[in-house]
Structure 1
Amino acid sequence: MKISAPDVEGYLTLPLQFPSTPIFPQPATHYLYIRPHEPRIPDPDSTRSLFIVNTPIDTTETHIRHLFGKQLSAGRVASVQFEDVPTKKAGVAAATESNLSHRNKKRKRATADDLQSTLDQINLPETWDRKLHKSGTHAIVVFADRASMEASLKAVAKAVKKGSSIIWGEGIPEDRVPALGIRRYRTHDRARYPARSEVLSAVNDFMTVFAEVSEARKREETRKLAEPDEDGFVTVTHGPKLNSVAREEEMKELVERQKKKAEGLEDFYRFQSREKRKEKQQELLRQFGEDKKKLEEIKMRKGKIRPE
């Protein structure tokens, strides 16, 4: 039976049938509005993309791939960008990989903005295994090439013209999409208490990148201060002044720290042990000479005849 669909200027209106459920046994019709993606500022993917409005709230990338690849037998979908789901940019993903996985390898120093973007992408483990969208959400479907996009658009127009009945999500294996209903909330309840190792890994990554962001900011500020301004002047900065007392205390602390560092290293080399033994021997001889001299002086005082 041909389904009459409302016309929207500039869009192809594709009717979808929602399958009946035990809770709501009556079938329902949902309409997708599809047109080529024509952003105000074109990007490299806009020529091979379709703009879809009014996606169902339970839409996933698997649903979109199944719709165009299986149910419409059209082009191959490369990616799907939903309105309310943030996507990683290529530069950010590359920065994340280079900063978190290859820190020890020699690479070009990342800027503070790149590191900040990486920091924004580090999150704690998700507690929901599936995103539900708000009603009327739009999505951008990027195809493998322009030919796939055009073939998909023609397939949509053909299905609309024939009034084909397309059941939303029909034919998708259950293990391909996270379940809804009570199972969704059971999974959410378990995910609220992630493993300690996962939380620790996310926190460590965040703190590491945060430290790198701080260092990068300091380097950039130092570099900017060292550059002449428009008038050719260089800003000279200095730290807090120390008075004589504070300076003396600082030097004392420095000497004490140096002494502590040197503890246990006196006999590190063999020649140091020999010199230490010689010094000790000379000290004993000196003390022996002084004691001998004192003893002779005592004897001389005792041997003197005192007048009566």
Structure 2
Amino acid sequence: MAPEKATKPKGSKSPPKTVADFTILPLTLPSLSGLPGQCKNAKHYIYVKPHAPSIPTATNERSLFIANIPIDATESSLRALFADQLGGSMVERVEFDSPIPAQPMHKRWKTDQPSQDKGDKRGKKRKRKEEALVAEGVVEDEDSALPSIWPGELHRSGSGAIVTFVDKRSARGAMKEIHKAAKELKLISWKSNNAALGVERYKSHTTLTYPPASTLQSSLNAYLTQFTALESMRNKLRKTSRSVPDADGFVTVSRGGRAGPARVEDAERKKEELEARKKKNAVKDDFYRFQNREKRKEVEMGLRRRFEEDRKRVERMREGRGRVRPET
């Protein structure tokens, strides 16, 4: 069913259809309970243009940039907007600005251990990163995190989004339908999937702030289970670092003292290998031409100096041989 055209009252000035490179598309917001009558059928204007960032990417030609999105916009609501009311274009993904409140960044908790064959093939850098991740702190996921105290996510006023379509044809078709809707003043209704807005949102926030004890208990149990497993992994890593020298031949001194004697032979061998490597990579004395010339001069001066010393010693021997020593 085609959307109806908006009736323009006499004497009213129609809003602009474009500003700069953006096309202005009016959306009719749904009415909320608790609001006065004049707030019904309120208009919200979004600004759409082809996405053209300063650093081009592979998805530029099949994406649109939308500014001033509704505060309750979600990926599913934007998908429904283009699929139902703007030509049926297929959306691949939607990227928003940071919501309010921001989503918690959970670290990945990996319970399965890699096999021995895979561990031998991994490089030293990757091993070092995984060890640092283990020793970093408690890993949280959705099970061990505290329950959310807000019913849904909202965006800041004036936030933007990048809508990426499945192909270039869908992006061009969506932009064409936006131009047509803005020109003909079609009624585009905004359908939000987030029902917790207005007073109901804060009522839900008050209820979620005090969750039941069973929900908190399950979250705490998951947190403590991960903490115990991670603490054992950190202790194992500390014990290994106390006795095994690193690439430079140093042994890590960690909290709690040494668990056993350090491997002195391995440390000395690492030190010798490091010195041999430095000596091998050092600049040699006969690398440049002037070094060879200076070296030959030094050898020649040494020969001359020894020749003069030998000549003087022979002269002293001859003088001593010709003298008559009286008997005493």
For the aligned pair, the TM-score class normalised by the smaller chain equals 0.5 to 0.7
Which of residues 49, 69, 78 is equivalent to 2:83?
A: 69
Is residue 247 of structure 2 the alignment partner of residue 228 of structure 1?
yes
Which residue does the alignment assign to 2:36?
A: 23
Which residue does the alignment assign to 1:119?
A: 140
What is the CA–CA distance in structure 2 between the aligned matches of 1:118 and 1:37, rounded to whole Å?
A: 37
Comparing 36-45 with 187-196, greater Cα deviation is found at 36-45
TM-aligned CA distance change 1:118 to 1:44, over 3 Å: farther
- List alignment gaps of at least 5 residues for structure 1: 243-308
- Percent identity (aligned): 33
Shift of 1:147: 3.6
What do residues 50-80 of structure 1 show as CA deviations (whole Å, max 9, x unaligned)? 2211112232333212211112133223333
What is the CA–CA distance in structure 2 between the aligned matches of 1:215 and 1:43, rounded to whole Å?
A: 44
Residues 74, 155 of structure 1: 8 Å contact kept:
no
What is the CA–CA distance in structure 2 between the aligned matches of 1:120 and 1:45, rounded to whole Å?
A: 31
Which residue does the alignment assign to 1:11?
A: 22
Shift of 1:43: 5.7
Amino acid at match of 1:226: P
Amino acid at match of 1:234: F
- Listed as ranges, the matches of 1:155-166 within 5 Å are 155-166=177-188
What is the CA–CA distance in structure 2 between the aligned matches of 1:66 and 1:23, rounded to whole Å?
A: 28
Which residue does the alignment assign to 2:206?
A: 189
Q: Which has the higher helix share?
A: 1
Which of residues 48, 51, 57 is equivalent to 2:71?
A: 57
Give the aligned length: 226
Shift of 1:241: 7.9
| RMSD (Å), alpha carbons | 4.2
- Listed as ranges, the matches of 1:99-178 within 5 Å are 99=110, 103-104=111-112, 111=130, 112-113=132-133, 119=140, 123-169=145-191, 176-178=193-195
- List alignment gaps of at least 5 residues for structure 2: 1-5, 9-13, 120-128, 260-328
Which of residues 189, 196, 200 is equivalent to 1:179?
A: 196
Residues 37, 51 of structure 1: 8 Å contact kept:
yes
TM-aligned CA distance change 1:235 to 1:190, over 3 Å: same
Comparing 207-216 with 76-85, greater Cα deviation is found at 207-216
